[in-house]
């Protein structure tokens, strides 16, 4: 097949990890006889520096006509001034909204070789394999907000969590379909004992599951309880669907479980158009340009892109299997190594995955 | 001194643990020569059963004229029907709002004897001693909410997070004062990179600390990052102040760290009037009326009441020291015991604390 892939390297270690993912995609192209065309565009801090805009128009229009988008990372201390006119995160929020990427898929998988690096004790974390599905274009992130200045100099600020039937339906469907392909268990997380927006979420989610996915094992958990269960019994969950804000908090909490964020990819999907794929780790400015960043999460994000946006299941599996066997062989980047294990550079790790392919 | 204490036993194990806390307060009264008058009132599920109202008027007016309020727990499967007209939690939310209890103090303390029961590995959790201060009468819990029905049968629901200068100031002051008495470090948690309400929170919190508490070591953390840090480096935090919703999630996450919720009390304070004190565990209907519930969190909540509402610091310290030495002596209720350690009943544990006093 022929596919156009937009690369958004971004800031910090972004360009280094994207370069390795590109290399792996090229190797897959050669092996399976596909023609991938790559185009690189600006996003985040570097886009602010070069254009004043964290998501310049050429980036957005290239993304719209792409088959898949692979993002490195955005942000860094250079652009962290709270009084700045614009900040790198604004580019992220805008690309999600503009491309209608309403479903953020974040698998949290544990690997045996990392278990003893987890902050959790082995008995608690072993066997954990969760797929979070976070609503990404609604809720309190995008509802009306306001700032009122009063005569006495004080202020009142508000941010509104809004959900409509349709928004809940479509993201719950994505989660339920994923649960069907996995173990058949789905958990919806809300705060329906307090929030009106959560009560609608709960009602719609229950109806969608009951009417369209009656075979799923379905349950509902309050967000505060879920924050506990993620620590005390993470291995009991399969697919977990929740709103934008709760998903932001819970997926980050969950990202601590495997013992490294260096192997965790994420996919943001819309109803049509390209998906956006990225590692969940940040731009790690402290190790940028040292050649030691771990490219595997980005390489695994590229595999998700092949699966979800290009429908190349076999090719996606091939990448995942290659990463797996590279890790089994003991190859480690600095962040994954324990004690005095020898480590590979970013480029060497990319090469190892390619030759394993 | 003479003081009126309102007891709200509530549901499940509530009455059993409140009985022990009362016994301990009576022992303190005898020892230090205070006259505590106790009055018991209905709240939660039992109040719904007997009056149809989870917070009956006589309860509320007794609380208003009390010097301190000690709550057991509310709720249980019997009142969990989502379609019920009223639910036990409504009583909790109402008493917080009616009494103006805007600051919820939740200490998360680790005990050496429990460390190996924590889901976290010893190296990660050891030394953790956090005081959460959660805003409790504002934010998305009490902002405007709405439900709109559209012609096509779909609905839109909203819940609004609202914060005003004054609300942030007063809770940050409570947290900052607590930090002064502890290690001098204060962390404020928000989501100012996305939410207007959080941007006001951040601005006001920073001003209060800079102008009124310039000696504190102060920092700001995003809520998603905090959900990670609570797992990866909990022992680096001292006092943590945050809004109602974020506090709900983070304090519950934090409650997993010590290895048992059975020793964690909480205090909800207003600017005047009585405070409300309670264990953070729930009503545990599965072990109710078996005489095996752990009363120590409620007893420690009673100590917080003596300290914060009755200004009896010495007496509060005496209770805490008694609990500590009872635990050091190896006394355990069922939830605290490991392996085949022998265990005490609820009443026996209460007696041990009394005789230690
Ligand atoms: C950078 C920030 C706006 C973003 C979010 O809150 O969604 C990030 O935390 C994430 O989870 O992708
Ligand atoms: C029962 C519920 C309304 C309450 C809350 O969300 O505040 C509880 O979770 C708590 O933290 O006290």
CA B209 to each of CA B5, B133, B137, B176, B191: distance values in angstroms, whole numbers, following the listed order: 34, 15, 21, 7, 18
- 0.75 exceeded by pTM: yes
pLDDT per position as a tens digit, A163-201: 999 999 999 999 999 999 999 999 999 999 999 999 999
**The domain spanning residue B356 has which CATH number?**
3.40.718.10
The size of chain A, in residues, is: 357
Q: Which atom of ligand 1 is nearest to the CA of A96?
A: 7
Is a pLDDT exceeding 70 seen at residue A218? yes
- When pLDDT is averaged across residues A270-297 and rounded to a whole number, the result is 95
For residue B272, count CB atoms less than 10 angstroms from its CB and return exposed for 0-12, middle for 13-18, buried for 19 or more: exposed
Give the mean pLDDT of B70-76: 95
What lies within 8 Å, CB to CB, of B159 at 6+ separation is A160, A161, A195, A196, A197, A198, B140, B143, B145
* Chain A residues 277-336 within an 8 A CB cutoff of chain B: none
pLDDT reading at B238 higher than 90: yes
- Of the pLDDT bands very low, low, confident and very high (cuts 50, 70, 90), residue A266 is very high
Q: Evaluate whether B279 touches B10 at the Cβ level (below 8 Å).
A: no
Question: Cα(A170)–Cα(A200) distance, rounded to whole angstroms?
Answer: 14
- Residues A179 and A222 both lie in one domain: yes
Candidates B91, B192, B224, partner chain A, best to mutate (most A CBs within 10 A): B224
Domain boundary among B227, B262, B297: B262
pLDDT tens digit string along B275-330?
Answer: 999 999 999 999 999 999 999 999 999 999 999 999 999 999 999 999 999 999 99
Tell whether B173 is covered by a domain.
Answer: yes
Active site residue A191: yes
Ligand index nearest the alpha carbon of residue B140: 2
Number of domains in chain A: 2
CA A60–ligand 1 middle distance (angstroms): 19
Q: Which residues of B touch A232 (CB under 8 A)?
A: 119, 256
A332: pLDDT strictly greater than 80: yes
Highest mean pLDDT (candidates A68-82, B76-90, B322-336)? B322-336
Which chain A residues are closer than 8 Å to B89 by Cβ? 193-194
DSSP string, B210-277: HHH-TTSEEEEEEHHHHHHHHHH-GGG--EEEE-HHHHHHHHHHHHTTTS-STT-EEEEE-SSS-EEE
Letter string b/e over residues A215-243, b meaning 16 or more CB atoms within 10 A of that residue's CB:
ebebebbbbbebbbbbbeebeebbbbbbb
The pLDDT tens digits of the residues spanning A11-52 come to: 999 999 999 999 999 999 999 999 999 999 999 999 999 999
End-to-end, the C-alpha distance of chain B in Å comes to 19
- Residue-averaged pLDDT of chain A: 96
Instruction: Look at residue A80 in the predicted model and tell me its pLDDT.
Output: 82
Query: Would A265 be classed as within a structural domain?
Result: no
What is the share, in percent, of chain A residues with pLDDT greater than 70? 100
Per residue in B179-230, pLDDT (tens digit) is: 999 999 999 999 999 999 999 999 999 999 999 999 999 999 999 999 999 9
Q: Residues A227, A279: one domain?
A: no
Residue B12 and residue B45: Cα distance in Å, rounded? 9
- Is the residue at B92 inside a domain? yes
Q: Give the closest of B157, B165, B202 to A199, CB-based.
A: B157
> Are A252 and A115 within one domain?
yes
Last residue of a domain, one of B208, B242, B262: B262
**Residue the block writes with tokens 């190790």:** A287
- Are B46 and B178 contained in the same domain? no
B130 shares a domain with B95: no
Q: Mark yes or no for CB contact A119/B82 under 8 Å.
A: no
Query: Do A79 and A146 belong together in one domain?
Result: no
Q: What is the mean pLDDT of residues A276-291?
A: 95
Distance (Å) from the alpha carbon of B177 to chain A's nearest alpha carbon: 22
- How do beta strands A103-109 and A129-135 pair? antiparallel
Question: B190 and B151: one domain?
Answer: yes
Kindly tell me if the per-residue pLDDT of A215 is higher than 90.
Answer: yes
Q: Is residue A264 part of a domain?
A: no
Residues B113 and B258 in one domain: yes
Domain boundary, last residue among B262, B285, B304: B262
Same domain (yes/no): B11, B146: no
- Residue B267 counted as domain residue: no
Residue A267 inside a domain? The answer is no
DSSP, collapsed to helix, strand or coil, labels residue A104 as: strand
Q: Is there a domain that residue A268 lies in? A: no
Determine, yes or no, domain membership for A317.
yes
Residue nearest to atom 8 of ligand 1 (CA): A248
Residue B59: name the closest of B39, B37, B38, B41 by CA.
Answer: B41
Backbone phi and psi for residue B341, each to the nearest 5 degrees, phi listed first: -55, 145
Q: Do B120 and B41 sit in the same domain of this protein? A: no
Chain B residues with CB under 8 Å of A145 CB are: 195-197
Residues spanned by the domain of A322: 1-99+273-357
Q: Do A93 and B194 touch (CB under 8 A)?
A: yes
Please tell me whether residues B124 and B251 are part of one structural domain.
yes
Beta-carbon separation of B223 and A249 below 8 A: yes
Task: Suggest the residue from B231, B244, B264, B283 to mutate for an interface test with chain A (most A CBs closer than 10 A).
Answer: B231
Shared domain for B134 and B227, answered yes or no, is yes
Which of B193, B223, B226 to mutate to test ligand 1, by most ligand atoms within 8 A of the CB atom? B193
Cβ neighbourhood burial of B205 (10 Å; 0-12, 13-18, 19+): buried
| Helix or strand run (H / E) with residue B1 | none
Residue A217: partners with Cβ closer than 8 Å, 6 or more residues away: A184, A185, A186
The answer to whether B140 contacts A141, with C-beta atoms less than 8 Å apart, is: no
């Amino acid at each position: 097949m022929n596919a156009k892939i937009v690369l958004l390297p971004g800031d910090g270690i972004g360009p280094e990890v994207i370069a390795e993912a590109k290399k792996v995609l090229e190797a897959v192209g050669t092996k399976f006889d596909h023609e991938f065309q790559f185009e690189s565009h600006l996003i985040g801090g570097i886009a602010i520096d070069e254009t004043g805009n964290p998501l310049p128009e050429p980036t957005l229009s290239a993304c719209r006509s792409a088959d898949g988008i692979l993002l490195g990372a955005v942000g860094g201390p250079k652009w962290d001034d709270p009084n700045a006119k614009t900040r790198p995160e604004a580019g992220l929020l805008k690309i999600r909204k503009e491309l209608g990427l309403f479903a953020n898929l974040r698998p949290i998988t544990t690997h045996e070789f990392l278990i003893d690096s987890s902050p959790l004790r082995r008995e608690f974390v072993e066997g954990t394999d969760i797929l979070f599905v976070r609503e990404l274009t609604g809720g309190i992130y995008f509802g009306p907000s306001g700032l009122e200045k009063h005569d006495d100099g004080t202020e009142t600020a508000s941010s509104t969590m809004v959900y409509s039937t349709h928004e809940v339906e479509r993201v719950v469907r994505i989660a339920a379909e994923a649960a069907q392909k996995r173990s058949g268990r789905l958990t919806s997380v809300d705060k329906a004992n307090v929030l009106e927006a959560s009560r609608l979420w709960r009602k719609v989610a229950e109806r969608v599951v009951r009417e369209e996915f009656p075979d799923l094992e379905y349950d509902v958990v309050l967000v505060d309880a879920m924050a506990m269960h993620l620590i005390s019994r993470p291995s009991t969950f399969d697919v977990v669907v929740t709103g934008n804000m709760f998903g932001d908090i819970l997926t980050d909490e969950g990202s601590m479980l495997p013992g490294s964020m260096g192997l965790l990819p994420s996919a943001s999907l819309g109803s049509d158009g390209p998906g956006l794929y990225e590692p969940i780790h940040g731009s790690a400015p402290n190790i940028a340009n040292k050649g030691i960043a771990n490219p595997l999460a980005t390489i695994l994000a590229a595999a998700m892109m092949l699966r979800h946006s290009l429908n190349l299941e076999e090719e996606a599996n091939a990448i995942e299997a290659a990463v797996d066997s590279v890790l089994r062989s003991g190859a480690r980047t600095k962040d994954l190594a324990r004690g005095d294990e020898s480590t590979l550079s970013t480029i060497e790790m990319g090469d190892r995955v390619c030759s394993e392919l």
